[in-house]
């Protein structure tokens, strides 16, 4: 693998999570073995990676090679097509790692027609980077991360529903940061009513995710913290046609005929939230797992055992499945966070 293409993929990885619903892309321009420009897409609606890199390279772009993590686009969207800019800057050659399956007209073909040498140089690392983007785009569903804080024996509370705090303060800090890496945080109405959480990242250096509450009841009491801070309105998704908002509640309401998780996720995707995190009680957590809606699972385990009968296990289902139908994940990493374990898994 070419080192410049590796660098372009590195850049894309660094910006992952903040370009929703666009993919994260990196670009590097090289002339006579010297980097003359590089860039990355920072935010949907702003310049693409290739444009950033071309701007940095200026006149040097003429006759140079551009390395891009994803095939340059060929369409007029919120910005002009990158392939056109590459042609206009008289770039000599284009090397990209992943073919953009979402393009109607191939950027590759458009560049070749303009007489530019184009190479598709596949990379497993880059494929993994865009895998979920293509799936999301095809299904029109966000990438769903489920966060669970549990005891070592799989419980989120004692049988008498005591649950504060199972994991330690370092985990709390890690979760705040995690929130800021997501477009939206989804929780259930019961969690809001019972725990009165803010669900913010609570630090100026972090971006604040959109907060989303799913509920089957027709109102929330006015005093709950989540409806009374200076953030963007909280999105409430409900099947209650008569849902009531009091005038002081900072709420954006979405009514669905039927409150099912797939429909709620699809709605969020169409609203531009392509990267969401679920932080909820065992009931909603179990529904997400049972319905195979979890793309990534982040589980924090405290090194303690709660015992009892396990009334509040984080994954409990009405149906009993054979072992061959157990929900299967793949471990990505394990870490020790303060006194607790963090395990990251993917579908």
Q: Return residues touching its own copies (CB under 8 A).
A: 151-155, 158-160, 162-164, 166, 286, 289-290, 299, 301, 303-310, 313-317, 319-323, 326-331, 334-336, 339-341, 343, 345
Q: Please, what is the minimum distance in Å from the beta carbon of residue 290 to its own copies?
A: 7
User: Does the annotation list 284 as a binding residue?
Assistant: no
From the CA atom positions of the chain, what is the Rg in Å? 23
Catalytic-labelled residue, pool 13, 32, 50, 138: 50
Instruction: Take residue 187 and report the two structure tokens written for it.
Output: 């929780």
Nearer to its own copies, 46 or 339 (CB): 339
∠ CA 34-35-39, nearest 5°, is 175
Q: Specify the residue, 152 or 253, whose C-beta has the smaller distance to its own copies.
A: 152
Q: Which of these, 1, 67, 2, lies nearest to 28 by C-alpha position? A: 67
CA distance 270 to 256: 14
Task: Provide the minimum distance between the beta carbon of 50 and its own copies in the complex, in angstroms, as a whole number.
Answer: 37
CB of 239 to its own copies, least distance (A): 25
Residue 199 annotated in ligand binding: yes
Active site residue 50: yes
Catalogue the long-range contacts made by 194-200 (C-beta closer than 8 Å, 24 or more residues apart): 194/281, 196/224, 196/225, 196/226, 197/225, 197/226, 197/279, 198/225, 198/226, 198/229, 199/226, 199/279, 200/229, 200/231
Q: How crowded is residue 202: how many other Cβ atoms within 10 Å of its Cβ?
A: 13
238 is in an annotated binding site: no
Listed residue (152, 140, 87, 133) closest to 114, CA to CA: 87
270: Cα within 13 Å, side-chain hemisphere: 7
Nearer to its own copies, 253 or 341 (CB): 341
Report the residue number, 57 or 289, with the smaller CB distance to its own copies. Answer: 289
214 is in an annotated binding site: no
Q: Is 82 marked as a binding-site residue?
A: yes
Find the shortest distance in angstroms from Cβ 334 to its own copies: 4
Annotated binding site for Zn(2+): 48, 73, 82
Annotated binding site for NADP(+): 165, 191, 195, 199
Residues with a catalytic annotation lie at 50
Annotated binding site for substrate: 163, 179, 202, 279
């Amino acid at each position: 693998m070419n080192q410049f293409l590796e660098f372009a993929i590195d850049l894309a990885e660094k910006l992952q999570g903040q370009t929703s619903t666009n993919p994260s892309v990196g670009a590097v321009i090289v002339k006579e073995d010297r980097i003359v420009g590089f860039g990355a897409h920072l935010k949907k609606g702003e310049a693409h990676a290739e444009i950033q890199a071309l701007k940095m390279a200026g006149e040097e772009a003429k006759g140079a090679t551009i390395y891009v993590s994803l095939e340059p686009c060929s369409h007029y969207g919120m910005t002009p097509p990158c392939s056109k800019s590459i042609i206009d800057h008289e770039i000599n050659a284009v090397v990209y790692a992943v073919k953009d399956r979402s393009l109607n007209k191939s950027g590759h073909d458009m560049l070749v027609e303009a007489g530019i040498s184009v190479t598709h140089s596949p990379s497993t690392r880059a494929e993994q980077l865009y895998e979920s983007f293509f799936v999301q785009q095809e299904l029109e569903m966000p990438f769903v991360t489920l966060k669970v804080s549990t005891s070592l024996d799989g419980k989120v509370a004692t049988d008498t529903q005591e649950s504060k705090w199972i994991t330690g303060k370092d985990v709390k800090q890690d979760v705040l940061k995690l929130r800021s890496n997501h477009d939206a945080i989804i929780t259930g109405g019961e969690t809001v009513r019972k725990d009165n959480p803010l669900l913010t990242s609570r630090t100026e250096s972090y971006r604040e995710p959109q907060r989303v509450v799913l509920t089957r009841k027709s109102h929330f009491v006015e005093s709950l913290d989540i409806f009374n801070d200076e953030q963007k309105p909280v999105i409430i998704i409900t099947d209650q046609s008569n849902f009531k908002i009091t005038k002081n509640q900072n709420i954006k309401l979405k009514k669905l005929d039927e409150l099912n998780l797939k429909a709620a996720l699809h709605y969020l995707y169409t609203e531009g939230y392509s990267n969401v995190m679920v932080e909820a009680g065992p009931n909603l957590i179990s529904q997400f797992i049972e319905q195979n809606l979890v793309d990534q699972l982040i589980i924090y385990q405290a090194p303690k055992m709660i015992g009892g009968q396990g009334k509040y296990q984080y994954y409990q289902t009405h149906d009993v499945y054979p072992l061959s139908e157990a929900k299967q994940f793949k471990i990505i990493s394990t870490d020790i966070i303060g006194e607790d374990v963090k395990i990251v898994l993917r579908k």
